[in-house]
Amino acid sequence: MRDTVIGPYARLPLAIGAGALFALGQAPFDLWPVALCGLVAGVWLLDRHMPAHSGAGIGWGFGLGYFALALSWIYEPFQIDAAATGWMAPFAVVGLAGGLALFWALAFWATARTGRLWALIPFFAGAELMRTYVLTGFPWALLPYVWAPTNAIQWVSVVGPHGLSLLTAGVAVLVVQALRRRNLGFGAGAAALVAGLIGGGALIKPAPQDLADRPVVRLIQPNAPQQEKWRRDMIPVFFNRQVDLTAAGPPADLVVWSETALPMLLANAGEALAVIRDAAGPVPVVVGVQREEAGNYYNSLVAVQPGTEVYQYYDKHHLVPFGEYMPMASVFARFNIFGLATRAEGGYAAGPGPALLDLGPLGRALPLICYEAVFPQDVGTAPERPDMLLQITNDAWFGTWSGPYQHLVQARIRAIEQGLPMLRSANTGVSAVIDGGGRVLASLPLGVAGKLDHPLPPPLPPTIYARTGDLPAFALIAMLAAAAVITRRRRPPNTD
């Protein structure tokens, strides 16, 4: 037994509290020093009860506190039609937080089984890697995003998010070892690692680019609240607002409307697209729209070319489970439970995968519809390297507090990982132009209608992560985890 063991009735509340403290590193709080203290507290709890206890309960409680606060915006989509879906909200928040916490429980359990605290470094990073890929994946609020308010986040361009997970877990383990052993060497190591992450990140951050003579993009933000977006009396109001914003002022070189900006299916949108072409003049317009083909519905975007009815389209391929489609739809339908944003039983169909849009002189864009910008692997598997990332989204589903801001942060991180500019058109905000270094060069605030005109930043050279993807981090995590298992200590009898 390790010194004084905290009783079983105190461990879980303390772990939950430590997790909630760690969640304060996410937007809109951005309290990264406080969050790191929460991470250290969670690791310290594990260290105090290892190897006499499994560690799974501490890991699960830590994850529960973290995800319940960081993902509290999940409550918001169920309030759009509160009479029909409001009752699901508490179950969704608790169920999602508790389910995701199982990944962290596994990491803490595996660490306790080895009896070596350093094993948490690969196991924790491995749990986050699994959370990114298992089933459909849900890598929202990953472990290393605690660094997003600092220059340390620049390291994702080198080691990727999962490599930065290893380093982040390493900071916490070194601090706990320093406290546990009263060893200044571990403390100095932790301080040096933090300094290297932040200071080194500042050194590798790309310099601001010269945007003179660059093409100008126009992002349209109609600010259509989800409760009003599909009302018959409001549909023409929001459509005309977007048309007027498209036509206002000097013409841009590209106009981008947000997700599902058109109020009809693509097959019925000929007249609306003609109005948009007239408003845009001699420039292409990217518009979010839904389309139907062979009885399947798709969440799509189209690139409308000037002077012609020919267009390119892209179908979203990474769909939101229980939102855009229902797993086991026929079973849930018996209980009158349907997806939140679906058009037909079972929801949207998935598109074939990542594709590029040819935008002529502006270059090629990798389109990302809403949730797809959350996945590093979706951005990294484009058929060829694009010149820009182009995200259209409807963050009206996420409320007005944390969700839209966390979504914006993850768009920034995708830009840093790839060294590519990100154009982000959001229905209710935050619309933004982001350069390849993750700088938000210009933005429209949440909850306002307007247009944003700004020069398009040029692409940077491919980053190390853009060339390698997650393979190096996966290999290192696997090797360290294997070493931890091979060198594990025998677990003594439970004396608590």
Catalogue the active-site residues.
Answer: 259, 316, 370
Distance (Å, whole) CA 467 – CA 386? 13
- Burial (Cβ within 10 Å: 0-12, 13-18, ≥19) of residue 490: exposed
Distance (Å, whole) CA 144 – CA 368? 22
The pair of three-digit structure tokens given for residue 177, joined into one six-digit string: 């070892």
Distance (Å, whole) CA 344 – CA 269? 20
Residue 253 in contact with residue 283, Cβ under 8 Å?
yes
**Residue 158: cis peptide before it, omega within 30 degrees of 0:** no
| Phi/psi of residue 384, nearest 5 degrees | -145, 165
- Three-state secondary-structure class, residue 354: coil
Measured in whole angstroms, the distance separating CA 34 from the mean position of its chain's CA atoms is: 21
Cα 86 to Cα 34, 67, 156, 224, 399, distances in angstroms: 33, 20, 38, 21, 14
Residue 154 in contact with residue 465, Cβ under 8 Å?
no
Radius of gyration of the chain (CA): 24
The pair of three-digit structure tokens given for residue 231, joined into one six-digit string: 């009302």
State the sign of the Cα–Cα–Cα–Cα dihedral 184, 186, 189, 194.
Answer: negative
Distance (Å, whole) CA 138 – CA 140? 6
Buried residues in 222-254 as b, exposed as e (16+ CB within 10 A)? bbbebeebeeeeebeebbebbbebbbeeebbbb
HSE of 446 in the Cβ direction (CA atoms, 13 Å)? 16
> Other CB atoms closer than 10 Å to residue 209's CB: what's the count?
18
Q: Which positions ≥6 away from 253 have C-beta within 8 Å?
A: 215, 216, 217, 283, 361, 362, 456
Distance (Å, whole) CA 241 – CA 250? 17
